[in-house]
């Protein structure tokens, strides 16, 4: 197990650098720059700006400087937010995305696991059909449609919840909007995983030994049935923690998703690269945690 974890941790660094390199290349290929304006700047002013930010150097020197900063986990200063470092911006805006992401995924787990387990235990019943129908509805309605609908009903018509405010009540609508899609996925994955496990040989053996159905379900079936959900959790939770762009835009949440879109429009290279590096490393770390958890959920899994 330890050697597996070390190998995976060593792979994170080159994989993250590859992602950052591709992002840097795409930014440089795209037309325009961060100091572009409707009225062209005087040549002397433009030259001074390029010199100040090292844009007058050859591309390989710029790439080397950028990579050196990334390796030191110092993403430099934002080009648009003067006097603010990228690390500072990440620290300031990440808690907003993390709060909503964790609450949304917690809600999605509660709803999705409950619906999926009930559907698998009551296969082809009204509970099964109802759970899967709601799951299909959650998969079919995108967040950019569900969010405005919830805001219109609960904010503009009923006046129950604020449409955009960072408060306890203001979190309800964005959390529900985010959780709907993930709850639908979790419900379907849980149902499929539980049905497969319930038909397996070791479950039949447990029943043959005389174990009651509750023990079979809680000690054997659920552990194996949750493996698809655990696989889904890694990238899903990383994406939620890093910020969901659409929901943050709809409900005016100053999270990383919102900042990332602004950095792309502003051609703020250090900020864009910082967010991409942060997100890619987070996804790889969560996937590592997911892979490690397989061994605890299913004793048959071994790490070489």
**Which domains are present in the chain?**
1-304 (1.10.3720.10)
Q: What is the number of residues in the chain?
A: 304
Does the pTM exceed 0.95?
no
The H-assigned helical ranges of the chain are: 2-29, 43-52, 59-71, 86-121, 126-140, 143-151, 172-198, 201-208, 213-215, 222-225, 227-242, 245-250, 256-265, 269-297
The yes-or-no verdict on residue 68 having pLDDT over 70 is yes
Report which listed range, 23-27, 32-36, 182-186, 211-215, is most confident.
182-186
Mean pLDDT of 56-71: 85
């Amino acid at each position: 197990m330890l050697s597996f974890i070390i190998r995976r941790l060593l792979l994170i660094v080159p994989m993250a650098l590859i992602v950052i390199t591709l992002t840097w290349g795409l930014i440089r290929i795209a037309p325009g720059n961060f100091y572009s304006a409707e009225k062209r700047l005087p040549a002397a002013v433009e030259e001074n700006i390029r010199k100040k930010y090292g844009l007058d150097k050859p591309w390989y020197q710029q790439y080397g400087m950028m990579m050196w900063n990334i390796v030191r986990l110092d993403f430099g200063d934002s080009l648009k937010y003067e006097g603010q470092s990228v690390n500072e911006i990440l620290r300031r805006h990440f808690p907003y995305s993390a709060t909503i992401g964790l609450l949304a995924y917690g809600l999605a787990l509660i709803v999705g696991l409950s619906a999926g387990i009930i559907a698998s235990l009551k296969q082809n019943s009204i509970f099964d059909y109802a759970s899967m129908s709601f799951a299909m509805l959650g998969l079919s309605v995108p967040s950019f449609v569900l969010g405005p609908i919830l805001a219109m009903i609960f904010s503009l018509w009923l006046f129950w919840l604020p449409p955009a405010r960072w408060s306890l009540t203001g979190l309800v609508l964005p959390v529900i909007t985010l959780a709907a899609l993930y709850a639908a996925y979790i419900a379907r994955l849980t149902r499929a995983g539980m049905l497969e496990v319930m038909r397996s040989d070791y479950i039949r053996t447990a029943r043959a030994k005389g174990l009651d159905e509750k023990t079979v379900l809680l000690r054997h079936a659920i552990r194996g049935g949750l493996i698809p959900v655990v696989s889904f959790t890694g990238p899903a939770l990383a994406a939620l923690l890093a910020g969901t762009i659409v929901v943050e835009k709809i409900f005016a949440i100053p999270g990383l998703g919102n900042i990332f879109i602004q950095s792309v429009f502003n051609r703020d290279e250090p900020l864009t690269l910082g967010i991409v590096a942060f997100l890619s490393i987070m996804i790889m770390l969560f996937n590592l945690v997911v892979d490690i958890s397989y061994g605890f959920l299913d004793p048959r899994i071994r790490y070489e």
